[in-house]
Amino acid sequence: MNKPSNDRQFRPVAVPDVELGGFWGKWQDAVCNSTAETLLDRCVEAGMLKAIDVDQPSPGVVIPIQPWGGTTQMFWDSDLGKSIETIAYSLYRRPNPKLEARADEIIDMYEKLQDEDGYLNAWFQRVEPNRRWTNLRDHHELYCAGHLMEAAVAYYQATGKRKLLDIMCRYADYMIKIFGHGEGQISGYCGHEEVELALVKLARVTDEKKYLDLSKYFIDERGTEPHFFTAEASRDGRDVSEYHQKTYEYAQAHQPVRAQTKVVGHAVRAMYLYSGMADIATEYKDDSLTAALETLWDDLTTKQMYITGGIGPAASNEGFTDYFDLPNDTAYAETCASVGLVFWASRMLGRGPDRRYADIMEQALYNGALPGLSTDGKTFFYDNPLESAGKHHRWKWHHCPCCPPNIARLVTSIGSYMYAVSDNEIAVHLYGESTARLKLANGAEVELEQTTNYPWEGAVAFTTRLEKPAKFALSLRIPDWAEGATLSVNGEMLDLNANMRDGYIRIDREWAAGDRVALYLPLALRPQYANPKVRQDAGRVALMRGPLVYCVETTDNGEDLNAIVLPRELSTAETVVLKDLNDAVALDLKVEREETSNWGTALYRNAPAERQVATARFVPYHLWDNRAPGEMLVWVQSDR
Amino acid sequence: MNKPSNDRQFRPVAVPDVELGGFWGKWQDAVCNSTAETLLDRCVEAGMLKAIDVDQPSPGVVIPIQPWGGTTQMFWDSDLGKSIETIAYSLYRRPNPKLEARADEIIDMYEKLQDEDGYLNAWFQRVEPNRRWTNLRDHHELYCAGHLMEAAVAYYQATGKRKLLDIMCRYADYMIKIFGHGEGQISGYCGHEEVELALVKLARVTDEKKYLDLSKYFIDERGTEPHFFTAEASRDGRDVSEYHQKTYEYAQAHQPVRAQTKVVGHAVRAMYLYSGMADIATEYKDDSLTAALETLWDDLTTKQMYITGGIGPAASNEGFTDYFDLPNDTAYAETCASVGLVFWASRMLGRGPDRRYADIMEQALYNGALPGLSTDGKTFFYDNPLESAGKHHRWKWHHCPCCPPNIARLVTSIGSYMYAVSDNEIAVHLYGESTARLKLANGAEVELEQTTNYPWEGAVAFTTRLEKPAKFALSLRIPDWAEGATLSVNGEMLDLNANMRDGYIRIDREWAAGDRVALYLPLALRPQYANPKVRQDAGRVALMRGPLVYCVETTDNGEDLNAIVLPRELSTAETVVLKDLNDAVALDLKVEREETSNWGTALYRNAPAERQVATARFVPYHLWDNRAPGEMLVWVQSDR
């Protein structure tokens, strides 16, 4: 906790600076071809444009206030924001004038909607104009603002158009006036975190420290006493004892953030808060925030995380419960929560490469977030169980459509999670076929070509393109699972053990055009066992290969997947490339299967089922339910 | 299905004719000492007496109509009915003038409340007087009547007082007038079955066939087209498409009862319906009903029943889901549903002894119903999971207090489930220390003394007391699990295999005073495995001894019960009598335990946990949560 302060500052590269091919290129194509437009279509169908269009006399359909104190309509600005952000990223990859025009039209509507003072919120301007800033605890006002800010930054970077950016700067300037400890100011913060990390993006793109300061204010203020939510409820005539979520832990507002040691409450909120905290820790080199975050990181990843990087097992609070309580079939594990974990992990890398964070970022990305999108980009998972008896399938939409644009914007911006730069160092956190244009603070400019069929194969090659030789360090992550990894620079092998720091190999040298780094990460099949305190995984094993969690599905293996038993000594898996499933690598293994056909009619009997030798096909979990519907299982029975 | 018609008719003996000692005597004492009075106290606290007291100007607190279309207050008559029934049975065992006076007072109130036409229902007379018979689907009107009828019969048999019996006969006579296919009559039935079986009780005690006919009418009418619930909703201006339960399967009204083959919907409703059907099948020797019931019986017991005899896994419909879907930790398995299964099973014995029914009756009684009551008779389980992470504990009361009086009335009337008589045969379905005064239809009278420490020990001795020798058959159940059972009559061993019919040994002879039958049922420890289609029990084993399911609890075994692994070859269990737990026989077994202390901090790792040899103590499931709170587990990991 009391490590010497760390002066390093890494920032993710801008999304337009990385061009993806291979694995991620395919996913980005799915978003460009389908999801980006689908998002807007669905928003329009829901009535969201009517709601923000001041040229329409009425905001259209109004969803009434629900028992929790608000309605999903209160977050419509966020849905539009995330959709515009996705469109922006998709425009980098593929210009689409029609889609850009639709986004421009929405931005025009927001321009007209914005109040003279800078305030902007469809619900509180069009539906409940007298309720502005009366219930920050429940009503997502700053959350909506945050998503519009992220959209503004992305849209500006994609198109060079400043309109939405200017709108959101005006709004942020207004916030700076009304939030604070001064006379007549609101000494508060939003019940759903998001604006904190958005203000950091706004600050970075505008180079305005005042937005960082506002973000830091919200973070520092959170959970302090006298409690803002209590005072606010009292001013608003609400009875705090009737708070639907029962505890301020729900919004991580039960304690000042630096005193928090346990990851609690609503999972997406928690991830967004910690993301904002990590950004502020990086920007201000705030060791007290970093120390709190490290404690929370360990708490989450050693006691509360599914092997998929799914988090928040309970539907009731869309969040956390007890330590080691990780039910597989009822797992909530919202797509947004894993997206949020990717956000948080990437920001923990702001103070320097460390595979503790990058390994989990990758795990959550491939296995927690990515399952939220179908291969064709048209359907979505909201919750992500690790076991299904056959009834869990992707949605075309959701009454609370937060997840579809969240996974879509992550997929389309994935380049900025792969590479980060400091003044004299390039960190490669994730591997994937891509070309990155990188500019270091020391002035060096380099184009880095990454050639690989990762995550299906373990060979990764980097080739540099530079106008003139430059001195900088290239740091490459060696995942903790990559036992036997090798690395060569221009054909010369490096001793990984001697050069490893925090799980990264740092190659500090003068680089010239055409330098070649070859990394090999062995993708051995890895049986994974859970801490025996996870009662739901007792006697079970999950299979991983590289960063990917695998599962069995009915379409490959028939029914009664729980009758599959993996032997203690696994056979060598035969790998099979599935042409009809994104060229995924499937694994065929010798297993035993409990016989169900000759069991008899009794439900219970004195002897266990007989077993037969069989072959089971395991496919990457993120690709499940893309073919025929059926059962699915991650944790299979294990002989021990 | 097309077996020749069965002419046998067995009726349960009257509750006052059996005196219990031993195991059941202790439980009956708990009800007499605590539960009977507690039930009334809680009913009073809830405001139930004010609700029925016409001398009070207002019915007191009124619970508003809930989203499902009614309120729990609509069943208050049933809560009072079951409480009076419990009190009646408890008065057999131990006179209690004060309690009897309280019951008399309630009965007086009901007498005053009853309308001149015979109608009686606190809600629809005091709260919604204009809504009588407008929503039989949701409003439990006949259900309430049924419970008051059962109370009336019990109270009459216990005290000789006819007042409540006369009230309920008047009400039943009124029902006969208004239900039927005639002009102006209601061609319907209740959404919550119960009155069907209650009318049979009323018919048997009054010897009035008209009540049987009404019961048969309700059963025959159920699920026929045009559908009563649809017509009723239409008359009442309700939109059937908004039916909260979505399907008439919820109330087993989706098809005529004889066409039903799958046990569906609300579990308690299903059990009460089938109970009434079985009674009517017995009374009318109706083979078409019996055939339907046999199909439903197999459906329930081979595809949808927990090993505890718990049924109805889902909270959402308080009932059935898919075949083989039996989650342990979230099991609803309402106490009332297992009480209902005991009711149904006992009535399936109406057409002759058959251990297919009696074995399950015993299994559900000890392991599904009895857990609902604490050893001191003061606290209750509503839902009965087979696994708890430590947060499931008994209630002092419940907002829908159906279970406490249900298990209490079953415990206090258990004698009538043990013995049944036909014209020339006595069937002993259950074993337990008791004395039964039995009168056969052929005129024979016999007092049968059963001496045993069952279910803790397997020796059961019967001694006859007769004034003069008499010819009749004594049929004794040999449970399917009792491998190696022996039986002697006056010291002479019988060949069980040669004399077994439907799992009973029928000893047909002339009996004299002092004849002695000695039965020995070996109580071997029996590991039980579930059909591999039950995914939640895969790789797991449950232990039974005699009729009892066992479990492990934290108080004996520490935390992390899922780390216990039973070896494939079980050691001989050491039996230990627990003085502080109703003298229960506990089982100490050699097991292995996955080590949690040396696992390390990682949540997941490449190697499974190491194991240590340990001893685990198993206690009867029905006694769990009677000592220190903690985890509980029925299905433990099994080495295979």
Residue where the block lists tokens 């970075």: A204
- The helix/strand count (H/E) of chain B reads as 19, 24
Q: What is the mean pLDDT of chain A?
A: 96
Instruction: Let me know: does B257 contact B221? Beta carbons within 8 Å.
Output: no
Judge whether residue B2 has pLDDT over 60. Answer: no
- Verify that A54 and A82 share a domain, yes or no: yes
Query: Of B571, B582, B577, nearest to B622 (Cα)?
Result: B582
Return the amino acid letter for B406: N
Is A107 contained in some domain? yes
Euclidean distance between CA atoms B149 and B169, whole angstroms? 8
Is A6 contained in some domain? no
Parallel/antiparallel/unpaired status of strands B636-638 and B564-566: parallel
- Verify that A465 and A607 share a domain, yes or no: no
Dump pLDDT digits (tens) for B17-61: 999 999 999 999 999 999 999 999 999 999 999 999 999 989 998
- Verify that B550 and B618 share a domain, yes or no: yes
Q: Does A483 touch chain B (CB under 8 A)?
A: no
- Catalytic residue (one of A100, A196, A318, A334): A318
- Verify that A415 and A426 share a domain, yes or no: no
Give the dihedral sign, CA B546/B550/B555/B557: positive
Q: Find, in chain A, the residue whose alpha carbon is nearest to that of B561.
A: A535
Q: How many CA atoms lie within 13 A of B104 on its CB side?
A: 12
Q: Do A534 and B305 touch (CB under 8 A)?
A: no
- Verify that A449 and A386 share a domain, yes or no: no
Domain that holds residue B595: 525-638
| pLDDT reported for residue A2 | 44
Instruction: Let me know: does B36 contact B155? Beta carbons within 8 Å.
Output: no
Is B196 contained in some domain? yes
Instruction: Let me know: does A554 contact B633? Beta carbons within 8 Å.
Output: no
Helices (H), A185-248: 195-206, 209-221, 228-235
Query: Of B140, B224, B236, nearest to B190 (Cα)?
Result: B140
- Verify that B494 and B608 share a domain, yes or no: no
Q: Specify the 3-state DSSP secondary structure of B566.
A: strand
Mutation target among A341, A360, A392, A535 for the B interface, most CBs of B within 10 A: A535
Euclidean distance between CA atoms A331 and B184, whole angstroms? 53
| pLDDT reported for residue B615 | 97
Euclidean distance between CA atoms A111 and B86, whole angstroms? 72
The residue among B465, B486, B520 that closes a domain is B520
| pLDDT reported for residue A3 | 54
Q: Does B601 touch chain A (CB under 8 A)?
A: yes
Dump pLDDT digits (tens) for B204-216: 999 999 999 999 9
A325 neighbourhood in chain B, CB within 8 Å: 389
Dump pLDDT digits (tens) for A45-100: 999 999 999 999 899 989 998 888 899 999 999 999 999 999 999 999 999 999 99
Q: How far is A508 from chain B (nearest CA, A)?
A: 32
Nearest CB to B532 within list A301, A560, A606: A560
Q: Find, in chain A, the residue whose alpha carbon is nearest to that of B533.
A: A560
Instruction: Please report, for the domain that includes residue B370, its CATH number.
Output: 1.50.10
- Give the helix/strand (H/E) hosting A544: strand A540-545
Q: Find, in chain A, the residue whose alpha carbon is nearest to that of B606.
A: A528
Q: Does B301 touch chain A (CB under 8 A)?
A: yes
- Verify that A136 and A154 share a domain, yes or no: yes
Query: Of B370, B107, B97, B88, nearest to B201 (Cα)?
Result: B88
Q: Does A311 touch chain B (CB under 8 A)?
A: no
Parallel/antiparallel/unpaired status of strands A611-620 and A548-553: antiparallel
| pLDDT reported for residue A571 | 79
- Catalytic residue (one of A402, A403, A551, A592): A402
- Verify that B415 and B432 share a domain, yes or no: no
Distances (CA, A) of A253 to A72, A211, A213, A265, A439: 22, 22, 19, 9, 39
| pLDDT reported for residue A1 | 39
Give the dihedral sign, CA A118/A120/A126/A128: negative
Euclidean distance between CA atoms B340 and B21, whole angstroms? 24
Domain count, chain A: 3
The residue among B474, B500, B520 that closes a domain is B520
Instruction: Please report, for the domain that includes residue B444, its CATH number.
Output: 2.60.40.1180
Nearest CB to B608 within list A599, A607, A640: A640
Q: Does A594 touch chain B (CB under 8 A)?
A: yes
- Verify that B40 and B188 share a domain, yes or no: yes
- Verify that A345 and A476 share a domain, yes or no: no
Range 527-556 of B in CB contact (< 8 A) with A: 527-535, 538-542
- Verify that A215 and A340 share a domain, yes or no: yes
Is B4 contained in some domain? no
pTM of the model: 0.95
Q: What is the phi/psi pair of residue B480, to 5°? A: -55, -30
Give the dihedral sign, CA A30/A31/A36/A41: positive
| pLDDT reported for residue B1 | 39
Instruction: Let me know: does B277 contact B196? Beta carbons within 8 Å.
Output: yes
Q: Find, in chain A, the residue whose alpha carbon is nearest to that of B543.
A: A606
Query: Of B561, A153, B103, A468, nearest to B111 (Cα)?
Result: B103
- Verify that A433 and A532 share a domain, yes or no: no
* Full 3-state SS string of B32-90: HHHHHHHHHHHHHHHCHHHHHCCCCCCCCCCCCCCCCCCCHHHHHHHHHHHHHHHHHHH
DSSP type of residue B382: S
Q: How far is B36 from chain A (nearest CA, A)?
A: 36
The residue among B520, B541, B567 that closes a domain is B520
Euclidean distance between CA atoms B575 and B558, whole angstroms? 20
Q: Find, in chain A, the residue whose alpha carbon is nearest to that of B531.
A: A603
Is A10 contained in some domain? no
Is A188 contained in some domain? yes
Helices (H), A48-190: 48-52, 76-93, 97-113, 122, 141-159, 163-178
| pLDDT reported for residue A6 | 74
Nearest CB to A604 within list B329, B529, B608: B529
Range 359-398 of B in CB contact (< 8 A) with A: 387, 389
Please confirm, yes or no, whether A402 is among the known catalytic residues. Answer: yes
Sheet holding B18-20, edge to edge: B18-20, B434-439, B445-452, B459-465, B516-520, B486-489, B492-493
Is A1 contained in some domain? no
| pLDDT reported for residue A5 | 62
pLDDT band of residue B8 (cuts 50, 70, 90) is: confident
Instruction: Let me know: does B472 contact B440? Beta carbons within 8 Å.
Output: yes
pLDDT band of residue B133 (cuts 50, 70, 90) is: very high
Nearest CB to A601 within list B302, B329, B605: B302
Q: Do B603 and A530 touch (CB under 8 A)?
A: yes
A608 neighbourhood in chain B, CB within 8 Å: 529, 541, 638, 640
Q: Does A330 touch chain B (CB under 8 A)?
A: yes
Instruction: Let me know: does B541 contact B586? Beta carbons within 8 Å.
Output: no
Interface ipTM above 0.90: yes
Question: How many CB pairs below 8 Å do chains A and B form together?
Answer: 129
Return the amino acid letter for B68: W
Q: Do B606 and A307 touch (CB under 8 A)?
A: no
Which residues of chain A, if any, have pLDDT below 50? Answer: 1-2
Dump pLDDT digits (tens) for B532-567: 999 999 999 999 999 999 999 999 999 999 999 999
* Full 3-state SS string of B398-435: CCCCCHHHHHHHHHHCCHHHHEEECCCEEEECCCCCEE
Is A355 contained in some domain? yes
Nearest CB to B530 within list A529, A604, A639: A604
Q: Do A603 and B322 touch (CB under 8 A)?
A: no
Q: Do A602 and B528 touch (CB under 8 A)?
A: no
Q: Do B538 and A307 touch (CB under 8 A)?
A: no
